[in-house]
């Protein structure tokens, strides 16, 4: 949730910290702060609100420090006020700490420390950490391992999930970094080291990255990086070289990241298909060749009976479509559960099951915890119950990717806008490929149908381009008509029901307009009572099995004076008779249609929010990676 950056080296720390925080601001933006050490003084500057408030405070401040830590906050314990902003310090201000996570036993630690004379200045859980560290520091700062030892003792007393960066005034050449169930990475530069909660902060400085694992502590000095476990044992670790490009975290002329990411969808879909489609599978030589190459081990498919999917938010919507595809194309019963619910009420253990965790960030605490639960409850059971865990993500370096057996990398790269767009379509492509792979293996589809669907998938990038070129302007113009609208209803059926949910979520997240998504057939069972001339209804009406039903459900809404908008295919004459406004997508097979039908809804939400002057990329109360449960 929160963003952490740390630096030690030969450059001016403040500008590196501020630059890093700017690139991490999507993780939380309630308040921000930095702490640096120079000439024996630990200085801490914090500000409520967005990062520019902190920048303003630091504007006329010449600070040549070469070491520092920074933080951008998404509030959990304590309101977003300056006194709750990180870094937090101990009594005499000699240790500074930034945290991402939650210290669950902070109340008892706080009471213990207060009894020893510590004075607390915030309501946060984090503040116990510097106080606790100071308890374990040697009286004189002359023990060269003093800070490392004190941090090691302190973190052994913390319960919960946390990532930390710590500096101490008596240790001006040390930056200590800790990971326990919350992500943090180390960046290796030339005579300099960085830490950050996400690689996006470090891309401009280095591509040599070490992912700390749970229970690890790094001591970074100008001379090197040492990694220890929580018992103090030194570990051997080697950084990886990442191939992210700098441009992935730049807006490249777009007004917002979200708009840029909507426009990246054709390339993302293309890349994902290129990665996993087997060329020439349907040629003479390719007879009997699986068209999909996901590179999953054969043991994954052995006696497969069920699929179970765990995810949150937009990734959960993608999973509902995944369920539809796996059941309808491959005939395998599939459960989809909210990861945040599963941990505390897991469904009974099923045999011969692939469990899939779907997450764009690869760091969502609820999803990771649900997968852990699933993994550990199967340990020691007979072979048919063994865990087979698959991740679907665009972040192959994430915690998810490291904890699951296999991943499908959806190739969407880093997504910065808080509202998921390209990561969603990429997850859908991941599910199409998996469903077709399973269908092929089970002979669930004729080769002709398989070929049709694969050709249909290959046509999608071009169709998205056509849609973006042809529709973007008219959708932007249409938004003028919703200046005062306060409620929207989205409806869809079959494979497009989850798109109704996703359309509603996008609108809520960035425009703060109340919106609900329903299966169109459910409207008459209750929600229809909400309708009147002030509540527009958006129906997704793609040609296919449920098309006529959706149109008649839309008519029912129209009869209650609702203004009707339809997401329909080009040249749909019948739809033109029913809907007041039409959002067109190119002609497409119903089963592939969600990839196209979601795009007008992304654009509509974007333009409504942008027109209202809202902060599209950093909507209130939200964060891009939700790393608390
Ligand atoms: O990183 P994840 O895909 O696991 O995130 C799950 C949700 O937090 C996320 O999809 C959220 O709903 C988005 N802001 C949707 O736009």
Q: Tell me, what's the pLDDT at 523?
A: 85
Measure the CA–CA gap between 445 and 439, rounded to whole angstroms.
6
Q: Are residue 236 and residue 375 in the same domain, yes or no?
A: no
Which tens digits make up the pLDDT trace of 613-624? 998 988 887 777
User: Which ligand 1 atom minimizes the distance to the CA of 314?
Assistant: 10
Q: How confident is the model at residue 284 (pLDDT cuts 50, 70, 90)?
A: low
Residue 137 lies in a domain: yes
Domain boundary among 216, 249, 282: 249
Q: What is the arithmetic mean of pLDDT over 154-182?
A: 96
Q: Are residue 235 and residue 140 in the same domain, yes or no?
A: yes
> Taking 80 as the threshold, does the pLDDT of residue 23 lie above it?
yes
Active site residue 2: yes
Which tens digits make up the pLDDT trace of 290-309? 999 999 999 999 999 999 99
Count of structural domains within the chain: 3
In sequence order, the β-bridge partners of residue 37 are 42
Residue 629 lies in a domain: no
Measure the CA–CA gap between 232 and 246, rounded to whole angstroms.
36
Q: Are residue 497 and residue 396 in the same domain, yes or no?
A: no
Domain boundary among 249, 283, 311: 249
Q: What is the arithmetic mean of pLDDT over 382-392?
A: 97
Q: How confident is the model at residue 20 (pLDDT cuts 50, 70, 90)?
A: very high
* Residues lining ligand 1, Cβ inside 6 A: 312-315, 359-361, 364, 367, 418-420, 509, 622, 625-626
Q: How confident is the model at residue 227 (pLDDT cuts 50, 70, 90)?
A: very high
Query: Whose C-alpha lies nearest to ligand 1, atom 9?
Result: 313
Q: Which domain covers residue 117, as residue numbers?
A: 3-249
Supply the angle between the helices 497-511 and 594-611 in degrees, to the nearest 10: 20
From 29, 313, 364, mutation site for ligand 1 pocket: most ligand atoms within 8 A of C-beta: 313
Residue 575 lies in a domain: yes
pTM, rounded to two decimals: 0.85
Question: Which runs of consecutive H residues, i.e. helices, occur in 305-398?
Answer: 313-325, 339-342, 365-377
- Any idea what the CATH number is for the domain that residue 399 is in? 3.40.50.10490
Which tens digits make up the pLDDT trace of 562-607? 899 999 999 898 898 899 999 999 999 999 999 999 999 999 999 9
- CB within 8 A of 512, min separation 6: which ones? 614, 619, 620
Query: Whose C-alpha lies nearest to ligand 1, atom 16?
Result: 419
Residue 232 lies in a domain: yes
Q: What is the arithmetic mean of pLDDT over 345-350?
A: 94
Which tens digits make up the pLDDT trace of 96-120? 999 999 999 999 999 999 999 999 9
Residue 625 lies in a domain: no
Q: Tell me, what's the pLDDT at 141?
A: 56
Q: Are residue 27 and residue 136 in the same domain, yes or no?
A: yes
Of 598, 525, 582, give the one whose Cα is nearest residue 556. Answer: 525
Measure the CA–CA gap between 22 and 79, rounded to whole angstroms.
21
> Taking 90 as the threshold, does the pLDDT of residue 530 lie above it?
no
Q: What is the arithmetic mean of pLDDT over 48-69?
A: 91
Q: Are residue 275 and residue 397 in the same domain, yes or no?
A: yes
Q: Are residue 472 and residue 431 in the same domain, yes or no?
A: no
- Find the 347 Cα to ligand 1 centroid distance in Å: 23
| Percentage, residues of the chain above pLDDT 70 | 97
**Main-chain dihedrals φ then ψ at residue 154, nearest 5 degrees:** -65, -45
Q: Are residue 243 and residue 258 in the same domain, yes or no?
A: no
- Any idea what the CATH number is for the domain that residue 155 is in? 3.60.20.10
Residue 96 lies in a domain: yes
Q: Are residue 377 and residue 353 in the same domain, yes or no?
A: yes
Three-class secondary structure assignment of 596-629: HHHHHHHHHHHHHHHHCCCCCCCCCCCCCCCCCC
Q: Are residue 154 and residue 55 in the same domain, yes or no?
A: yes
Active-site residue (options: 2, 195, 272, 312): 2
Q: Are residue 239 and residue 256 in the same domain, yes or no?
A: no
Residue 563 lies in a domain: yes
* Contact between 389 and 371 (Cβ < 8 Å): yes
Query: Whose C-alpha lies nearest to ligand 1, atom 12?
Result: 313
Please provide the average confidence, as pLDDT, over all residues in the chain: 93
Q: Are residue 259 and residue 337 in the same domain, yes or no?
A: yes
Residue 456 lies in a domain: no
Three-class secondary structure assignment of 31-78: EEEEEEEECCEEEEEEEECCHHHHHHHHCCCCCCCCEEEEEEECCCCC
Q: How confident is the model at residue 172 (pLDDT cuts 50, 70, 90)?
A: very high
Q: Are residue 182 and residue 303 in the same domain, yes or no?
A: no
């Amino acid at each position: 949730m929160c963003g952490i950056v740390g630096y030690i080296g030969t450059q001016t720390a403040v500008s590196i910290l501020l630059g890093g925080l700017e690139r991490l601001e999507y993780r939380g933006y309630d308040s921000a702060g930095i702490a640096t050490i120079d000439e024996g003084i630990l200085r801490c500057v914090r500000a409520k609100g967005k990062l520019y408030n902190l920048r303003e405070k630091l504007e006329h401040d010449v600070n040549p420090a070469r070491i520092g830590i920074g933080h951008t906050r998404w509030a959990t314990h304590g309101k977003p006020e300056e006194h709750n902003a990180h870094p937090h310090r101990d009594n005499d201000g000699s240790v500074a700490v930034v945290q991402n996570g939650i210290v669950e036993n902070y109340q008892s630690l706080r009471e213990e420390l207060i009894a020893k004379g510590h004075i607390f200045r915030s309501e946060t859980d984090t503040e116990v950490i510097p106080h606790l560290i100071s308890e374990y520091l040697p009286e004189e700062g002359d023990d060269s391992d003093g800070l490392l030892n004190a941090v090691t003792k302190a973190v052994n007393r913390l319960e919960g999930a946390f990532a930390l960066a710590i500096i101490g005034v008596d240790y001006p050449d040390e930056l200590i970094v800790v990971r326990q169930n919350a992500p943090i990475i180390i960046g290796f530069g030339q005579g300099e080291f960085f830490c950050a909660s996400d690689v996006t902060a470090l891309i401009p400085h280095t591509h040599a990255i070490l992912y700390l694992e749970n229970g690890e502590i790094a001591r970074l000095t100008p001379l090197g990086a040492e990694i220890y476990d929580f018992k103090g044992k030194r570990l051997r670790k080697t950084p990886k070289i990442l191939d992210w490009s700098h441009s992935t975290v730049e807006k490249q002329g777009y007004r917002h990241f979200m708009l840029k990411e909507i426009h990246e969808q054709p390339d993302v879909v293309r890349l994902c298909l290129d990665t996993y489609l087997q060329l020439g599978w349907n040629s003479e030589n390719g007879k009997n060749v699986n068209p999909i190459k996901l590179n999953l081990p054969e043991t994954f498919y052995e006696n497969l009976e069920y699929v179970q999917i765990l995810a949150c938010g937009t990734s959960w919507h993608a999973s509902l479509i995944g369920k539809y595809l796996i059941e309808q194309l491959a005939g395998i019963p599939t459960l989809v559960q909210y990861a945040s619910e599963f941990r505390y009420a897991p469904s009974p253990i099923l045999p011969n099951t692939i469990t899939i965790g779907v997450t764009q960030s690869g760091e969502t605490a609820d999803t990771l915890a649900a997968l852990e639960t699933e993994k550990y409850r199967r340990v020691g059971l007979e072979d048919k119950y063994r865990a087979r865990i698959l991740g679907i993500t665009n972040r192959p370096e994430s915690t998810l990717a490291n904890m699951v057996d296999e991943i499908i990398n959806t190739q969407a790269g880093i997504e910065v806008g808080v509202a998921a767009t390209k990561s969603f379509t990429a997850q859908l492509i991941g599910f199409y490929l998996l469903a077709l792979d399973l269908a092929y293996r089970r002979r669930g589809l004729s080769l002709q149908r398989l070929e049709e669907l694969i050709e249909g998938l290959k046509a999608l990038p071009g169709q998205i381009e056509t849609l973006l070129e042809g529709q973007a302007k008219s959708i932007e113009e249409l938004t003028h008509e919703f200046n005062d609208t306060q409620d929207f209803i989205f409806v869809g059926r079959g494979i497009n029901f989850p798109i109704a949910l996703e359309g509603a979520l996008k609108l809520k997240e960035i425009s703060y307009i109340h919106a609900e998504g329903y299966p169109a057939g459910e409207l008459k069972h209750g929600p229809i009572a909400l309708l009147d001339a002030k509540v527009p209804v958006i129906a997704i009406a793609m040609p296919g099995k449920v098309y006529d039903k959706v149109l008649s459900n839309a008519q029912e809404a129209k009869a209650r004076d609702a203004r009707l908008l339809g997401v329909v295919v080009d040249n749909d004459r019948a739809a033109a008779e029913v809907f007041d406004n039409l959002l067109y997508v190119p002609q497409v097979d119903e089963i592939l249609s969600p990839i196209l039908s979601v795009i007008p809804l992304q654009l509509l939400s974007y333009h409504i929010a942008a027109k209202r002057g809202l902060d599209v990329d950093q909507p209130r109360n939200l964060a891009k990676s939700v790393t608390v449960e």
